Amino acid sequence: MSHAYPAPAKLNLFLHVVGRRADGYHLLQSVFRLIDRADTVHLDVRDDGRVVRECDLPGVPEDRDLTVRAARLLQAHAPGEAGVSIRLEKVLPMGGGLGGGSSDAATVLLALNRLWEVDLPREALQKLALQLGADVPVFVYGQTAFAEGVGEILRPVSAPPAWYVVLVPPVEVPTAAIFAAPELTRNTPPLKIAPFSAGMGRNDLQSVVAGRYPEVALHLEWLANFGEARVTGSGACVFASFETEQAARSVLRQLPETMRGFVAQGLDRHPLYEYCD
């Protein structure tokens, strides 16, 4: 039987780089907000112990695909012959800062945790998720989160209801290159966790991304005519927050034909939040 599950995007409402570990990983502070724009992950449970990807992802070999790696990680905790076929419907752009690949992997973990009757608690699933990448645990965590460390130390935080206009510049931004940039600010003073408010903080990566990718700078400049525009993650996507759907859609209707974008609602919880305790 085929099952379809959403893999929602995330926005970094702010992102500060507050230091760097001896191993080269950057220490961050951020607020992650899920939105209702999502990939769809199709899973067919198998009883032959195989994990099979049934779709092509340009530039992503099967053994590097985070969804395949997620399923194989969870197999160590599943019955011996547990397997799955995986097919993705991609909506979220690669290299866009929306966390698409990480979210796809988290959805595989959450869904198979139930389908394979593994029933790992959320904290254990988050530890598995961290082996796949720093952004994967927040999707398993499944709610608006204040993140620290490399992004794996998560605490719940409230964000006001919001609708977002998200623009998608026609570029892919490699995260590693942005974090390695010599011009990146790495010493923003840490914030104490506090109630989140619109306009809090900034994205320390934004000036680097905009300086290296003129298309991102152009999209930021256009969206700034309607509100505070920010890059999410390491880009390329940029967003602005609005109090109502009507206000957000009014902005999107004015989008030049040369630009792409969408409107999305902020989510307080992941659609699969109840899939683990």
Residue at token pair 């600010």 = 185
> Does 200 have pLDDT greater than 90?
no
- Check the CA dihedral 27-144-13-211 and report its sign: positive
Q: What is the pLDDT of residues 97-140, one digit of tens each?
A: 999 999 999 999 999 999 999 999 999 999 999 999 999 999 99
Q: Which residues pair with 88 in a beta bridge?
A: 41
What percentage of the chain exceeds 90 in pLDDT?
Answer: 86
Q: What is the pLDDT of residues 264-274, one digit of tens each?
A: 999 999 999 99
The tokens describing 209, both together, are 């991304």
Q: What is the pLDDT of residues 138-154, one digit of tens each?
A: 999 999 999 999 888 99
Q: What is the pLDDT of residues 52-90, one digit of tens each?
A: 999 888 888 899 999 999 999 999 999 889 999 999 999
Listed in sequence order, the DSSP H helices in the chain are 66-75, 100-115, 122-130, 136-141, 175-179, 206-212, 214-223, 245-253
- Which helix (H) or strand (E) covers residue 29, if one does? strand 26-46
Residue at token pair 């700078």 = 217
Q: What is the pLDDT of residues 71-81, one digit of tens each?
A: 999 999 998 89
pLDDT at 197: 72
- Report the topology of domain 1-277: Ribosomal Protein S5; domain 2 (3.30.230)
Q: How confident is the model at residue 14 (pLDDT cuts 50, 70, 90)?
A: very high
- Mean pLDDT score of the chain: 94
Q: How confident is the model at residue 194 (pLDDT cuts 50, 70, 90)?
A: low
Q: Which residues pair with 53 in a beta bridge?
A: 86
This prediction's pTM: 0.95
Q: What is the pLDDT of residues 230-261, one digit of tens each?
A: 999 999 999 999 999 999 999 999 999 999 99
pLDDT at 195: 66
The tokens describing 258, both together, are 């040369």
Instruction: Indicate the domain borders of the chain.
Output: 1-277
For the chain, what's the residue count? Answer: 277
Percentages helix, strand, coil for the chain (3-state, rounded to 5) are 30, 30, 45
Vertex 136: Cα angle to 134 and 141 (nearest 5): 115
Quickly count: other Cβ atoms within 10 Å of residue 24's Cβ. Answer: 8
Buried b / exposed e across 204-219, counting CB within 10 Å, b at 16+? bbbbbbbebbeebbbb
Best CA proximity match to 41, nearest among 26, 28, 57: 57
Q: Is 199 left (phi over 0), alpha (psi -120 to 50) or beta?
A: left
User: What positions carry a catalytic annotation?
Assistant: 10, 135
The pLDDT of 30-36, averaged and rounded, is: 97
The pLDDT of 173-178, averaged and rounded, is: 93
Q: State the amino acid at position 208 in one-letter form.
A: V
